Structure 1
Amino acid sequence: MQIELLDTFLDLVETRSFHRTAERLDVTQSTVSARVQTLEAAVGVRLFTRSRAGTDLTTEGLRFETHARMLRRDWNEAKRAVAPTGEAAAIMRIGIQNDLADAYIGDLLADFRRMFPQMAFYIEPDYSAQMCADIVAGVHDFAVLFTPKPHPDLHFVTLADLPYRLISSDAETRAEIKPETYISGHFSAAFEQAHRTALPELIGAPLSVGQSSTIASLLLAMGGSGFVMAEKAAEMVATGRFKYVADVDAIDQPVFAAMHLRQRVSKAHRKLTRMLAKRFLRSDPARG
């Protein structure tokens, strides 16, 4: 069976629109229809019904969905299993939240290689939603992310709460923060909600950024106020150019390990999870 048939079926399950799936897969709508017809002929049942209200799975389509996800994942795992890895016995493909990659990738990769000296690693910084999709599809084996996306094939473990501190070049208290020079961080939905609760007067700041290192660079270049990871905040305060905003508490960002449900009992995945939890604990300045 062509893997494109499964990819098209699963995308259509998500979009419920032949037109939208065609756009997302960068093919014509007639190609999507042809692939669905080919797949339906192969399995011997009708998988979708189409109406003015949209596209829906048939009862048989609902039954096939779980098997389609497993088939696609097994195919991707099989391709990776036979891919060249040099002298390594196996390869582990790991996604990591963009914000964490800049601050931790060196230490984490050193830990990975000490723990699994015979394994090759492929590391890809990305955002949470894409990493969850990649694990479901079998493209990645493991991910370290900020926002779990619920899915029946995914398993999540809480690793840590990483503090972000508010620093400023021109304000020592909350009342002195200038909205026009404030850089808002949209690191995750959880962080944004905590931020709205803690600092409602700064909602709608003219500049919003989704990465701590970028906020740090902007603050160094232009001055102003913003939340950055606690470790980076300590470095910037130590330069004498910035101060902690004294009456604003740190905002914690939860960090999670993500893996396929079938791999939650894997020895390698469990060792990675424990190692990451210890690494983030050691990296938290508030805990010494």
Structure 2
Amino acid sequence: MQTEWIDTFLDLIESRSFNRTADRMGITQSTVSARVKALEDAVGARLFHRSRAGTEPTTEALRLAPHARILRQEWTLARRSVEKRGAVALTLRISIQNDLAHAQLGPLVGDLRKLLPQTAFYIEPDYSTQMCTDLTTGAQDFGVMFSPKAQAGLYFESVGVIPYRLISTHAQRLEEVEAERYVMAHFSPAFETAHRAALPDLSAAPVSAGQSSAVESLLREMGGSGYVMEPRAKTMVETGVFRWVTDAPILEQPVYAAMHERNRTQRAFRQMVQLVRKRLSA
């Protein structure tokens, strides 16, 4: 059985479209059909029904899907197990939310190297959705993220919160914040929900950004008001250009550690969870 068959099958389970899967995988629709047919021959069952309404997996396909995910992850782990590592005993691939990388990446890696001195680390800043996908496939081992996405085999644990503060070049109170000069932050669905509940009149701002560093850059260039991660906000206020919006609520972004279920009880992973929790509370 070829791994391409499994990858195509799992993408088709999600996309429910031969055309969409072909586009996402960068292959032709006929190749998608050929791979599905080969997998159907191998397992001895029809896996999809195609009609004008779309593509629907059969009962057999839904039963096969969890096993296919395990096969894909095992193959990824098997390939990684034979990679050249030099003198180190283990390589761990760790992803961290983009918005946390600026402040936390250096200290976190330093802590990890002290904790696991015989381990090599591959670190990649990313977004939560991609991190969850990579953890599911085995491409990543451990993630620190804002938005857990429930997927078969993944385990999430709360490790802390990140406070965001509202700062401005012109306003010291909420009533002075100008909506047309407001930069709306879209750090995560949870943050957006909290923002809309607390500040509904500012949630439809004409400019928005998905990272604290991007909000900071926009405010430095254009002026105005926006939420920035608290340590960076403090630094910006200390320049004298920005000021605290004193009556604005502090909005907190939950942070989660993520890993595959198989790793949740392993000592090294438990130590990493505790390390991240300690680092975020420092």
Residue 270 of structure 1: aligned partner:
270
How far apart, in 1, do the equivalents of 2:179 and 2:59 lie?
54
Q: Alpha-carbon deviation of 1:203?
A: 2.0
For residues 212-237 of structure 1, give each alpha carbon's deviation from its aligned partner in whole angstroms, at most 9, with x where no partner exists: 11211222222211100111111111
Residue 258 of structure 2: aligned partner:
258
For residues 173-227 of structure 1, give each alpha carbon's deviation from its aligned partner in whole angstroms, at most 9, with x where no partner exists: 0011112221111000010111111111112211101111121122222221110
Could you tell which deviates more after superposition, 27-36 or 203-212? Answer: 203-212
How far apart, in 1, do the equivalents of 2:92 and 2:275 lie?
15
1:61 maps onto 2:61 in alignment: yes
Residue 197 of structure 1: aligned partner:
197
1:39 maps onto 2:35 in alignment: no
How far apart, in 2, do the equivalents of 1:251 and 1:167 lie?
12
- Where 1:112 maps in the other structure, the secondary structure is helix
Within a 5 Å distance, the mapping from 1:66-145 to structure 2 comes to 66-145=66-145
- Where 1:147 maps in the other structure, the secondary structure is coil
How far apart, in 2, do the equivalents of 1:232 and 1:280 lie?
15
- Where 1:24 maps in the other structure, the secondary structure is helix
Letter paired with 2:206: P
Residue 5 of structure 1: aligned partner:
5
Residue 16 of structure 2: aligned partner:
16
- Where 2:159 maps in the other structure, the secondary structure is strand
Q: Alpha-carbon deviation of 1:59?
A: 2.1
How far apart, in 2, do the equivalents of 1:47 and 1:105 lie?
43
Within a 5 Å distance, the mapping from 1:195-234 to structure 2 comes to 195-234=195-234
Percent identical pairs in the alignment equals: 55
How far apart, in 2, do the equivalents of 1:189 and 1:280 lie?
20
Q: Alpha-carbon deviation of 1:115?
A: 0.5
How far apart, in 2, do the equivalents of 1:176 and 1:101 lie?
32
Q: Is the 8 A contact 2:88 2:119 kept in 1?
A: yes
Q: Is the 8 A contact 2:66 2:152 kept in 1?
A: no
Structure-2-length-normalised TM-score: 0.97
Q: Alpha-carbon deviation of 1:22?
A: 0.7
How far apart, in 2, do the equivalents of 1:209 and 1:248 lie?
19
How far apart, in 2, do the equivalents of 1:2 and 1:78 lie?
14
Q: Is the 8 A contact 2:3 2:72 kept in 1?
A: yes
How far apart, in 2, do the equivalents of 1:119 and 1:7 lie?
30
How far apart, in 2, do the equivalents of 1:196 and 1:58 lie?
41
Residue 48 of structure 2: aligned partner:
48
How far apart, in 2, do the equivalents of 1:226 and 1:111 lie?
32
Q: Alpha-carbon deviation of 1:123?
A: 0.7
Unaligned runs of 5+ in 2: none
Residue 164 of structure 1: aligned partner:
164
Could you tell which deviates more after superposition, 94-103 or 55-64? Answer: 55-64
Q: Is the 8 A contact 2:136 2:152 kept in 1?
A: no
How far apart, in 1, do the equivalents of 2:26 and 2:102 lie?
32
Residue 239 of structure 1: aligned partner:
239
Letter paired with 2:42: A
- Where 1:79 maps in the other structure, the secondary structure is helix
Letter paired with 1:229: M
How far apart, in 2, do the equivalents of 1:71 and 1:41 lie?
18
